Amino acid sequence: IMRFTVSASSGRARLGHLALSGGPDHPVAMATPGYLIYNRCGSDPHLPQSPAGILLTPLNHWLDKLALLRQAGNLRQLCRLRPDRQLLLSLTDHLDYYPTPGVTAQHVGLPTRSGKAPLTVELQAELTLLTSPELVQPLADCEIREGDGRKRARKSVDRSLAFYDRFTTALEQQGGLGGGGPALMASWVGGYSAEERLRCLRELESRGADGLVVEGFRYYNQPVEDFRLAQCESVLTEALQQQQRSQPPRPLYFPGLVHPADIIRAAELGFDLFDGSLPALLTRRGLAWLTSATGGSWWLHVGDVELLTATDRPLDPGCCCRCCRQFSLSYLAHLSLSNEILASILLMEHNSARLAAFFNELRSAIESAESLGGLATKYAAAVVPPTAAVAPLANDQARLKDDEA
């Protein structure tokens, strides 16, 4: 169902090709380094239809909607997903929910809107069959708190391996594995212990995991923009060297990295897949990602009264998205200041296009065997500011109040 090939490499960075043939008549091929398409409940946060590709489908959004899922019997049909959408059924949304404590030998507690909900092996197997994803991340112990030591790391590896084994068994029993079943993206855990990380890697390789998802580095109360690759890079060094030698190559997915420079650095280390959550993160902050840094900043806060006079230019002259082709920066600023939903829609179109352009740039750099250092320097200043620093676009409640007028 999944074929991953590496076509070129530059240092440890590698160009790859991920082909999924689960969907009938709709094989999807994705160039790596690439990104999964961020969504919530089967929908892009602001766009009617996200671009074709692999939809990141975190289970935690669905655990409080089980009755509906079971009634519908098919997640793709329920969400009206186009045939060119492939799914990666993952555990937790990395943008909005932090892994919350709550793992036992029997279940993993995932955060939902109505509190923590338990995910068991049996439940995940059932949901996997209801969803028929091309890729699935078996449940795992991804918890980490600051100060956790080797003992906790060891426990997370042991538990995760046990979950992995039981999940594959359950899936086989329910007829969901084998030729038509999903590829398994195993959680690579082990806390901040290099030894445990290496052990986990070896164990997963010996089980023939199809791909790896790096988990268990971001502390449970750490905001997404606070998490930097530098925090954990050294822990992975030895394990990654081992990983690079393994054949056949398996795709490595590192979710939770939002800063462009971190994505570049992770690609340099050999990672292939990232979560495409940056556009959503920027859009909800009212920030646009520009083609080139202006005045030292990569981001433009569009809800700025000063921008109302910009009637003669688009948001980003270097961009071809609909927002930049059809509308002036003044209009976008006006919509944003007026708390209009259309502001989010247009901004998301732009930021999504910008992310795609960024990954094109990344892949081009690898292909032309350029050192990625130059690219990293270019994007060094592209640091997503923390929430408090920027006034966000109004949320739905505020908008409803606003419109009473």
The residues, any chain, with a CB within 8 Å of residue 292's CB and separated by 6 or more, are 318
Judged by CB, which is closer to another protein: 81, or 186? 81
Kindly tell me which of 310 and 383 has the beta carbon lying closer to another protein: 310
Query: Residues near 293 by Cβ (< 8 Å), separated by ≥ 6?
Result: 381, 382
What does DSSP assign to residue 132? -
Stretch of 14-22, 84-92, 216-224, 333-341 lying at the interface with another protein (CB under 8 A): 333-341
Please list every residue from 49 through 68 that binds another protein, using CB under 8 A.
61, 65, 67-68
Q: State the nearest-atom distance from the C-beta of 74 to another protein, in Å.
A: 10
Query: Which candidate, 200, 261, 273, places its Cα nearest to that of 229?
Result: 261
The conformational region for residue 134 under phi > 0 = left, psi -120 to 50 = alpha, else beta, is alpha
| Shortest Cβ 224–another protein spacing (Å) | 14
Q: How many helices (H) and strands (E) does the chain have?
A: 13, 15
- Min dist CB 285 to another protein, Å, is 12
Extract the tokens encoding 189. 């855990």
**Residue 360, interface with another protein (CB under 8 A)?**
no
By CB under 8 A, name the one of 1, 6, 78, 123 that touches another protein.
78
> Residue 405: how many CB atoms within 10 A of its CB?
4
- Does 317 sit near another protein (CB under 8 A)? yes
How many other C-beta atoms lie within 10 A of the C-beta of residue 389?
A: 10
Q: Among residues 273, 235, 286, 231, which one has the least CA distance to residue 359?
A: 273
Identity of the residue, 16 or 133, whose beta carbon is nearer to another protein in the bound complex:
133
Give the shortest CB-284-to-another protein separation in angstroms.
6
When asked if residue 80 is in the footprint of another protein (CB under 8 A), the reply is: yes
Angle 194-359-388 from CA coordinates, rounded to 5°: 75
Considering the complex, state which of residue 311 and residue 371 has its C-beta at the smaller distance from another protein.
311
Check binding of 391 to another protein (CB under 8 A): no
Residues 277-316 that bind another protein (CB under 8 A): 280, 284, 308-309, 311-314
**Choices 146-154, 162-170, 187-195, 396-404 (CB under 8 A): range interacting with another protein:** 396-404
Nearer to another protein, 1 or 52 (CB): 52
315 contacts: CB under 8 Å, gap ≥ 6: 288, 300, 302, 323, 324, 327, 329, 332, 350
- Give min distance, CB of 44 to another protein, in A: 7
Decide if 187 contacts 142 (C-beta within 8 A): yes
76 lines the binding site for another protein (CB under 8 A): no
- Interface with another protein includes 390 (CB under 8 A)? no
Q: How far is 122 from 362, CA to CA, in rounded Å?
A: 40
**Site residues (CB under 8 A) for another protein?**
40-48, 61, 65, 67-68, 71-72, 77-80, 113, 280, 284, 308-309, 311-314, 317, 320, 324-328, 330-331, 334-335, 337-338, 340-342, 344-345, 395-396, 399-400, 403, 405
